[in-house]
A and B are shown apart, each in its own frame.
Chain A
């Protein structure tokens, strides 16, 4: 069935790096834009980054721009989030999610399928 499984979360010191992965299954990964969304403890949902179906178009929230990089490997059906220069305010559950439309364009329609989440804790 359609499934997204995140991995790579953990506890990391401020200033260090971490890479999250998201393995996709059950759909044609290369047809869909993909997202990272996070939820800090006690806070609401926050969009982090998006990447187009072919990886040619990427965008980021201002809070992570220049520190985080979203990428994808379509032959491996995997989405990534490289997180550098981590801060305490990056502590959150990170979800990967699929765009709801296999549009193969550069418009975004929001998320339909979500992973179970990966917990990232930034603490010394």
Chain B
């Protein structure tokens, strides 16, 4: 099975801060990597697909990139509505695997 190691598991940041979250894949996954935002009581929301494609309707402050086995989600200027938990997902092969999540909290 492919393991997705996500870091950090939590972070505290202020409005306006630049935030970076990373997922490392244990095997090659090509660009079969999506990023999701999850808020309590709500369904997950797809932010980024295929490592770097911004979904329609998602603010441009969100971006994704990849470098070898490392995939990065960046929020360029954190907004109040961005406080949530973020997950990566690899869909290169089954079992599909999520990262452990990164909880972004208000400093």
| Interface residues, chain A, with chain B CB atoms under 8 Å away | 35, 37, 39, 44-47, 50, 59-62, 95, 97, 100, 108-112, 114-117
21 contacts between A and B (CB under 8 A): A35-B96, A44-B87, A45-B101, A46-B98, A47-B97, A59-B94, A59-B95, A61-B95, A95-B43, A100-B46, A108-B96, A109-B32, A109-B34, A110-B32, A110-B96, A111-B89, A112-B49, A114-B43, A114-B44, A115-B43, A116-B43
- B36 at interface, CB cutoff 8 A: yes
- Contact flag A50-B43 (CB < 8 Å), given A44-B87, A110-B34: no
Does A110 lie within 8 Å of B89, measured CB to CB?
Answer: yes
Q: Chain B interface residue count: which class? A: 20 to 34
A61→B1 CA distance, assembly (Å)? 10
A60→B44 CA distance, assembly (Å)? 20
Does B49 lie within 8 Å of A44, measured CB to CB?
Answer: no
- Contact flag A44-B100 (CB < 8 Å), given A62-B95, A109-B32: yes
Contact of A50 among B36, B49, B94 (CB under 8 A): B94
- B55 at interface, CB cutoff 8 A: yes
A110→B99 CA distance, assembly (Å)? 13
A114→B85 CA distance, assembly (Å)? 16
List CB contacts (< 8 Å) of B8-51 with chain A.
Answer: 32, 34, 36, 38, 43-46, 49-50
